[in-house]
Structure 1
Amino acid sequence: MREFEDEIRGLSSEEVAAAQAAGDANADAGTKTRSVKDILRDNVCTLFNLVNVILFAFVLITGSLQNGLFMIVIVVNTAIGIVQEIRSKQITDQLSIVASSKAKVIRDGVRGEVPLEELVRGDCIVLGRGDQIPCDSTVLTGTANVDESLLTGESDLIPKAQGAQLMSGSFVNSGTVVARVDHVGAENYAAKISAEAKAQKDINSEIMTSLNNIIKFVSIIIFPVGLLLFGSMFWANGVEFNQAILSSVAALVGMVPEGLILLTSTVLALAVIRLSKHRVLVQQLYCIETLAHVDTLCLDKTGTITSGAMEVQGLTLLGDASAREEGDAEQEAISALVSIAAADPDANETGKAILAWAETLNVQPVAASAYVPFSSDRKWSGATLPPGAVGKGADGGAEAAPGAAGADASRSQGASYVMGAGQFVLGEGFAAVADQVEAAAEHARVLVLARVQGFDGERIVGTPQPIAFVAIRDQIRTSAAETIGYFCEQGVDVKVISGDDPRTVSGIAQQVGVPHADRFIDATTLDTDEKIVRAVSQYSIFGRVKPEQKKAFVVALQDAGHTVAMTGDGVNDTLALKQADCSVAMAAGSDAARNVAQLVLVDNDFASMPKVVAEGRRSINNLQRSASLFLVKTLFSMVLAALFILLPWQYPYQPIQMTLISAFTIGLPSFVLALEPNRDRIKGHFLENVVVKSIPGAVTVVLAVLAVNAWGYLGVGLDHAQVSTLCVLLTAWIGVNLIFRVSMPFTPIRIALIIVVVVGTIAGAALFPNLFAISAFVDSMWTIIAVVGIAAVVLFNVLYGALDRWHAARQAVLV
């Protein structure tokens, strides 16, 4: 290549400077992770935080700092979100660091290196084996085989010669070329594909949607209700100003499920930590939940089912070789194949597969006395091996072409062989073995080995005689079948989407147990949206898929009501990854795919996916159980706030009392229950499941509070402090009953939890009465708490049992 480089001077320094001044430099147009500033803004500036800050400000007006302790939960929740996202950003950025960030260029006739972002339009770049093409370019001289799989999804190597177009993001697999940069920055092919993926995707999470809907609803009513409640107490009922503010804030704080937000963030953050131990990077907290809901999984073949490497599937003898003694024929074929592959100093994936196969057979290559390298025009390579080097029958099998120059000399030097595409190696003689070769080609790449008389330069001398063909396939990950089997057992529909030939994809899919893998279609025939919609419901295997079609497949599945997960590793996958409900990328894939994906498999092992599903189930099922404890407080706070606007009594709680109730009957048990193992399948919808379990407790609290206020004020003449104390203790008691029900079936940990909750609540009220505004008991209070407490237990259990049976019957009908 040096001789070609000498003929190319490239741009001059003046031309480079002019291009840079004109904005024709290769400014980085890649997909980027969010900045720390954006992460801080999005986590701090939320409606949830705003509501709580306003409530905290009202508490500060009264000077009662202990009633502002609820803000600790808000700060911790925000911190968890910030830390998790920054951690994810840092790891993703580290994955984007490449070993070489410079391009080889020729400028002023001198070869040098410059940073990728300093390339300009018109630059002459030198690209060799392993180099990633930085910009769309045109080959000026040289030849190379290029891997465009990250862009197109097709794993076949594409030969490139003078005048050929090179797409940014692809890799040079073998050969060397000098190319002229045509496009820079956002004009590049890879940049155009990934441009749509740059924007941050809205989070698709049932839990988050449910929580946001609760917060939005509460935010709409909270301040009007607060003002009316304050006005009712301060102006209508003559409650002192500070007490009216604290009671109003207590009602409003009770409406906001701040602990549930914290619990959700904490549980998912802990799931992220556990998954990181399995080499899974979670870039978006709620995707753990989404994956657990997925019912359709779209797999990209390359990098997911297959490793990206090649392996030899088997050797089949042909023609006269099959009639010879089998051991001798195989020995000759294997030795010839291995020796041709070893003769290439720049072996591609096919050559590497043959050499790896030879190692398993303990076959050593023979040093070739002559070698004809592979050419994309000829589609074969060949070698002459020393006499007797490859076994019996290796000499003299081919007929010499009369008068062919160099034929006799080649024959005297030993046996000559060619390896390549059957049609090109055998010519007209391919018809005799076509059926056998093409049958194998349905599920693998097939290379035909033939014996020839010799070589005249780069021409075959004599009529090639077929010896054998070797089938080479994509290397299937050892864990692929087990992982796909797991998803099938879970009722997930698996579809394989690839840029490769659909027959090849179907064959690989059948090997790993994809259901209905024999149903395949060539996506080039799907030229309308209507055809795509029909195809996604009828087929499981899609080949020759274009990048924009992958997204269309995902959209069609979503429109049909499916929750879709998509795996991929290339730029060609980014649009589909962004569209999918849950997106998974391989760390070894493109930057664009990694940055768009919600999950990144750091060790590129698809076998980690069941662990993510298990974590999702554990998180969601436990959150549903724990969330009911929080929603009880939200529901009864809203109802009581509305009622006490009309009633002639002061709202019975203060913020610090809500803290006592929340800490022992909500916070502690919810965290313990949320961290337990749980792999049950997810049933129903999050909000419905939670509300059904919350209603009995909320209704019981409302009726108990009304009974205590009426009996206390009207019946025995208790003051506000005494009524408030009874309301706090009865609310805690009803909370204990809910914990009792959601803890079934009992385990030692759950029994211990109930004991701690009861003892902790009593101890808090008894040891810190002033802090929690707990009044001393008088005789009438014992009567009230006993009667109302017993009635509350009966009512709660009747309501809980009835709603539980109704909900179970409803879910059975829906299933």
Structure 2
Amino acid sequence: MAMQGNPTDTALVRDTGLTGAEVAERVARGEVNEVGERTSRSVGEIIRANVFTRFNAILGALFVLVMTTGSWADGLFGVILVANSAIGIAQEYLAKRKLDRLALLNAPTTRVIRDGETLEVPTREVVLDDLIELRTGDEVPADGVLLRSEGLELNESNLTGESDPVHHPEGDEIRSGTSVVAGTGRYHARAVGADAYVNRIAAEARKFTRTHSEIQASINTLLRYITWVIAAALPLQIWSQWRAVGDQGWQSVVIRSAAGIVGLVPEGLVLLTSVAFLLAAVRLTRDEVLVQQLPAVEGLARVDVVCLDKTGTLTVGEIAFDDAEPVNGSTAHEVRAALGALADDPDPNGTLAAIGAALPSPGWHRTSTVPFNSQRKWSAACFEGHGWWVMGAPEILLPPDDPLHAQVSDLAGRGRRVVLLARSADPVDSSALPDDLTPAALVSLAEQIRPDAQETLTYLADQGVAIKVISGDNPQTVAAVAREVGLDPGEPVDARTLPEDGDELREVLAAGTVFGRVSPEQKRSFVRALQADGHVVAMTGDGVNDALALKDADIGLAMGNGAQATKAVAELVLLDGRFSHMPKVLAEGRRVIGNVERVANLFVAKNAMSLVAIVATALVALPFPFLPRHLTLVSTVTIGIPAFVLALGPNIRRYQPGFLGRILRFAVPAGAIAGLAVIVSYLVTGERYGVAPGQFEARCSVATGSSDLSCIRPGTGATMTLLVVFFAILFVLALPLRLWKVVLIGSMAALAVLAFVLPIGRDFFSFSAPAGLVWPSLGIGALGALCIVALRRWTMRAT
């Protein structure tokens, strides 16, 4: 392991630690424990992502051209363009602040000695050569060599997968990513930040990691299609409008051409998709879920297999005192008093802490102590007037032929951890056990089942999500816990017997539910085998040894009390470690998928309508039916505002694959129906209220601001027809109806009507609608609406 510091530095031999000046010097050199992790984009990246897009460039260019014609009303889409970008920037910035603040509040801290004082600082502010003090429960924040050790034992399962604590005397090298389970120690930080061992593992795990999002992939595919459509339609539209209205001057050609192209641009689709993801992430922060990659919200809704560890997921990760069964004539009162006295330790390990939480101290006076050691697997203490008491692993303290082994095995098979309490009249030292050791009680401890684990697992099962419990513990112990939370473990599988062949492993995983003695390498193999079988896999974990499996999983969920390396590669972090947040995350994912699908249907239908209208007007040599201001009205009341509300509303529809296919099956035909209805309406109303083709150029120049009613009435009729058809599209996409949806659609319809009946609306949009025009236009629109309803029923049956 590479070390950054020089052991001869005077800073490394002082008990007072670094001075303030030395800390500042190291900060200036960048020798800090910061690894550059962040949960969101920078402000500059947010602005660039929302402003500099291909469609903003297209709309911006069209806006400039329309403005050169002097027709300011037809440049209204430019205002919407600016508003879209501003809303996107504001929403993402506000979400960024909340997510960054949450990440900061949950940042770990470390105890350091500086200028002779013990301080608690954020772990990211630890600098090279800092004198670090370790106590029970602390995370080791940086690599180094121990200067002092008083019974220091580290849980290194995050690095090695081994659950047994490891004793470290003075002079031992210790690594970041481990945690203190017993004793105390001091050491100098010799490798920090990206050079620390745990961060090098995390960096390796983060390589090439991308969270797959079906929504984003589908939207990107749509945008690619639409870009090619615009590239092909632009010259066609300019040519056809030059033929139809070219004699009016270049201004009319620009305005009519711009109207068609603006209709092809899904100006709000990317914005609303991003906003839906961001607000879902912000909602989840209220439930202590930190979303580190926004697409993970959607991804979890697609998950059909969850791989979870027993510890920290089904259980709280801590043991609790269960029972003490006296043996060899000991009394229950005496046994409980001895256990309470042993637990009254200034530096208890996990077992003693669990006993101490349940049994009070009897007030015995401790005269001598032999601290617990993971190599000995026992501890002892002498109490005045009560002699020596020893507690440890039964297989160490009991002779091989002792009948108590059968009781120990029975308790272990029921998921209990068992230690033996024994007494001795002879003195005890750390070198060997006394000869007169007499068993006094079998002490059983149980892992605390999360009270909400069963409810969460039942919910997932009801949603069609399979559960795979994978653990490094004994398979029978894991199975016992699984039964307590309502899972049927079947025949638990010892992972040491599993085949290495991928096909055989997939068969075993498909049949089994509970797997014990699973190595870190096997966890990664499990994820890959399940994915190869066509599953979308979520993986939970809390140790560094889980990092690569979390990276390979479709969605990685880290526990908030887990290793930093694990949290760094996870898409979601359950900050309070409660697996019960899963249903809420799943619901958010479903809401995002269902609502973005609705929104995408609206935008793609508009694009298809515009394309059909462009092609049709080119074939029959007609002016494009709309001015840009007309499409701005239609887009605002039937797409823009409704899409924004629908994208943020509740949606509990279960996930179904085929996001892009469903959109294309409905939106393209729906847009084609709308486009054909518009052309029919334009021809019908133009026949009665329009201008003869030979006179159009002379009488209807947009550049001259003509107010001839016969010039604007066909466009009015076409706009009416389009509104009716698109309100039908909005209606079928909003099903099932709720009161808030009825209010939304009704208020948008009222706005549309006001644009036709209010003088200011008629003047701004250039509308003229005599009764003889209204009824044919609405009738054609109604026929189109009936076709939309029939199309929706057909597509719903097809899926």
Coarse TM-score class (shorter-chain normalised) = 0.7 to 0.9
Deviation, 1:633, is 0.9
Aligned match of 2:184? 176
Alignment of 1:459-498 (within 5 A): 459-498=432-471
Is residue 729 of structure 2 the alignment partner of residue 738 of structure 1? yes
Residue identity in the other structure for 2:422: A
- Measure the CA separation in 2 of the matches of 1:609 and 1:577: 16
SS at match of 1:258: coil
- Measure the CA separation in 2 of the matches of 1:663 and 1:724: 18
SS at match of 1:281: strand
- Measure the CA separation in 1 of the matches of 2:209 and 2:55: 21
Aligned match of 1:339? 341
- Measure the CA separation in 2 of the matches of 1:31 and 1:125: 23
User: What do residues 66-117 of structure 1 show as CA deviations (whole Å, max 9, x unaligned)?
Assistant: 34233134314531553255235513540453333647899xxx99999987
Is residue 197 of structure 2 the alignment partner of residue 194 of structure 1? no
| Residue 763 of structure 1, aligned match among 751, 754, 762 | 754
SS at match of 1:373: strand
SS at match of 1:68: helix
Deviation, 1:10, is 5.4
Residue identity in the other structure for 1:557: L
Is residue 24 of structure 2 the alignment partner of residue 53 of structure 1? no
Q: Which moved more, 1:706-715 or 1:470-479?
A: 706-715
| Residue 142 of structure 2, aligned match among 135, 147, 155 | 135
Residue identity in the other structure for 2:798: R
Is residue 407 of structure 2 the alignment partner of residue 436 of structure 1? yes
Aligned match of 2:9? 12
Whether the 8 Å contact between 1:130 and 1:171 is mirrored in structure 2 is yes
Aligned match of 2:96? 86
Q: CA 1:187 to 1:79, structure 2 compared with 1: closer, same or farther past 3 Å?
A: closer
User: What do residues 460-518 of structure 1 show as CA deviations (whole Å, max 9, x unaligned)?
Assistant: 43422222211223322221121111111111011223344444333323322234364
Is residue 781 of structure 2 the alignment partner of residue 810 of structure 1? no
Alignment of 1:228-239 (within 5 A): 228-234=236-242, 237-238=245-246, 239=248
- Measure the CA separation in 2 of the matches of 1:81 and 1:515: 45
Whether the 8 Å contact between 1:381 and 1:420 is mirrored in structure 2 is yes
Is residue 223 of structure 2 the alignment partner of residue 211 of structure 1? no
Aligned match of 2:309? 300
Whether the 8 Å contact between 2:60 and 2:78 is mirrored in structure 1 is no
| Residue 369 of structure 2, aligned match among 359, 368, 371 | 371
- Measure the CA separation in 2 of the matches of 1:564 and 1:804: 32
Is residue 303 of structure 2 the alignment partner of residue 313 of structure 1? no
Whether the 8 Å contact between 2:721 and 2:780 is mirrored in structure 1 is no
Alignment of 1:601-612 (within 5 A): 601-612=574-585
Deviation, 1:525, is 5.3
Is residue 712 of structure 2 the alignment partner of residue 724 of structure 1? no
| Residue 425 of structure 1, aligned match among 397, 407, 411 | 397
SS at match of 2:359: helix
| Residue 800 of structure 1, aligned match among 776, 779, 789 | 789
- Measure the CA separation in 2 of the matches of 1:735 and 1:370: 85
Residue identity in the other structure for 1:253: V
Deviation, 1:627, is 3.9
Deviation, 1:253, is 2.1
Q: CA 1:183 to 1:504, structure 2 compared with 1: closer, same or farther past 3 Å?
A: farther
- Measure the CA separation in 1 of the matches of 2:480 and 2:365: 36
Aligned-residue Cα RMSD (Å) equals 3.7
Whether the 8 Å contact between 2:154 and 2:182 is mirrored in structure 1 is yes
SS at match of 1:752: helix
Whether the 8 Å contact between 2:110 and 2:132 is mirrored in structure 1 is no
Q: Which moved more, 1:464-473 or 1:192-201?
A: 192-201
- Measure the CA separation in 2 of the matches of 1:89 and 1:348: 35
Aligned match of 1:349? 350
Deviation, 1:660, is 0.7
Deviation, 1:610, is 1.0
- Normalization by structure 1: what TM-score? 0.83
Is residue 427 of structure 2 the alignment partner of residue 452 of structure 1? no
- Measure the CA separation in 1 of the matches of 2:348 and 2:60: 65
Q: CA 1:313 to 1:58, structure 2 compared with 1: closer, same or farther past 3 Å?
A: farther
Aligned match of 1:406? none
Whether the 8 Å contact between 1:26 and 1:120 is mirrored in structure 2 is yes
Whether the 8 Å contact between 1:301 and 1:496 is mirrored in structure 2 is yes
Q: Which moved more, 1:555-564 or 1:369-378?
A: 369-378
- Measure the CA separation in 2 of the matches of 1:788 and 1:495: 60
User: What do residues 218-243 of structure 1 show as CA deviations (whole Å, max 9, x unaligned)?
Assistant: 11221331233113212564153223
Alignment of 1:642-657 (within 5 A): 642-657=615-630
User: What do residues 655-714 of structure 1 show as CA deviations (whole Å, max 9, x unaligned)?
Assistant: 221121122222333344445443232345333333444345323322212213333445
Whether the 8 Å contact between 2:720 and 2:781 is mirrored in structure 1 is no
| Residue 637 of structure 1, aligned match among 610, 626, 641 | 610
User: What do residues 190-240 of structure 1 show as CA deviations (whole Å, max 9, x unaligned)?
Assistant: 122201344584342222222221111111221331233113212564153
Deviation, 1:542, is 3.6
Whether the 8 Å contact between 1:494 and 1:515 is mirrored in structure 2 is no
Q: CA 1:703 to 1:313, structure 2 compared with 1: closer, same or farther past 3 Å?
A: same
SS at match of 2:633: helix
Deviation, 1:580, is 2.7
Q: CA 1:87 to 1:376, structure 2 compared with 1: closer, same or farther past 3 Å?
A: same
Is residue 167 of structure 2 the alignment partner of residue 159 of structure 1? yes
Aligned match of 2:283? 274
| Residue 153 of structure 2, aligned match among 145, 166, 171 | 145
- Normalization by structure 2: what TM-score? 0.84
- Measure the CA separation in 2 of the matches of 1:105 and 1:560: 59
Aligned match of 1:708? 681
Deviation, 1:264, is 3.1
* Structure 2 unaligned spans of 5+: 1-5, 14-21, 692-709
Aligned match of 2:529? 556
- Measure the CA separation in 1 of the matches of 2:419 and 2:11: 50
Whether the 8 Å contact between 1:128 and 1:175 is mirrored in structure 2 is yes
Alignment of 1:657-672 (within 5 A): 657-672=630-645
Aligned match of 1:98? 108
Q: CA 1:661 to 1:20, structure 2 compared with 1: closer, same or farther past 3 Å?
A: closer
Deviation, 1:763, is 0.2
Q: CA 1:725 to 1:672, structure 2 compared with 1: closer, same or farther past 3 Å?
A: same
Deviation, 1:624, is 3.2
Q: CA 1:104 to 1:557, structure 2 compared with 1: closer, same or farther past 3 Å?
A: farther
SS at match of 2:166: strand
SS at match of 1:757: helix
Whether the 8 Å contact between 1:288 and 1:612 is mirrored in structure 2 is yes
Residue identity in the other structure for 1:520: V
- Measure the CA separation in 2 of the matches of 1:43 and 1:423: 65
Whether the 8 Å contact between 1:105 and 1:125 is mirrored in structure 2 is no
* Structure 1 unaligned spans of 5+: 1-8, 322-327, 387-412
SS at match of 2:183: strand
